[in-house]
Amino acid sequence: KAGVTQTPRYLIKTRGQQVTLSCSPISGHRSVSWYQQTPGQGLQFLFEYFSETQRNKGNFPGRFSGRQFSNSRSEMNVSTLELGDSALYLCASSLAGGLRTDTQYFGPGTRLTVL
């Protein structure tokens, strides 16, 4: 069974631009969550999607948004990029129970650099 895939793996953007990251969950998984990892703050939760609906949201500004499609694939978008958005963005997928009950399987991440 294929694991969680994320595209692209690396991105370089400039301040003020926007970016879209993609995550394809493990087949049969319906919950997708997103995380930001930085050296200073560690791993921080962005949001969780289930059945095309945002189920939970972390404490990030509205510039960070996401969506989920009917095939459970998910995208996250960051608008008006800032230098501090440079990070490794990880997504994780799990069965329907999501964060409350199920093992989270992580993808390799997208490394975003904002210049």
Partner 1 sequence: KQEVTQIPAALSVPEGENLVLNCSFTDSAIYNLQWFRQDPGKGLTSLLLIQSSQREQTSGRLNASLDKSSGRSTLYIAASQPGDSATYLCAVSSGGGADGLTFGKGTHLIIQP
- Binding residues for partner 1, per CB under 8 A? 4, 33, 35, 42-48, 55-58, 90, 92, 98-109
Query: What strands, in cross-sheet order, belong to the sheet with 5-7?
Result: 5-7, 19-24, 74-78, 64-68
Q: Residue 73 CB, nearest distance to partner 1 (Å)?
A: 17
Q: Residue 53 CB, nearest distance to partner 1 (Å)?
A: 13
- Contact by Cβ (8 Å): 25, 5: no
Q: Per the omega criterion (within 30 degrees of 0), is the bond before 8 cis?
A: yes
Decide whether 33 or 68 has the Cβ nearer to partner 1: 33
Dihedral (CA of 29, 70, 67, 21) sign: positive
Structure tokens at 40: 């200073």
Decide whether 17 or 30 has the Cβ nearer to partner 1: 30
Decide whether 73 or 95 has the Cβ nearer to partner 1: 95
Q: Residue 16 CB, nearest distance to partner 1 (Å)?
A: 27
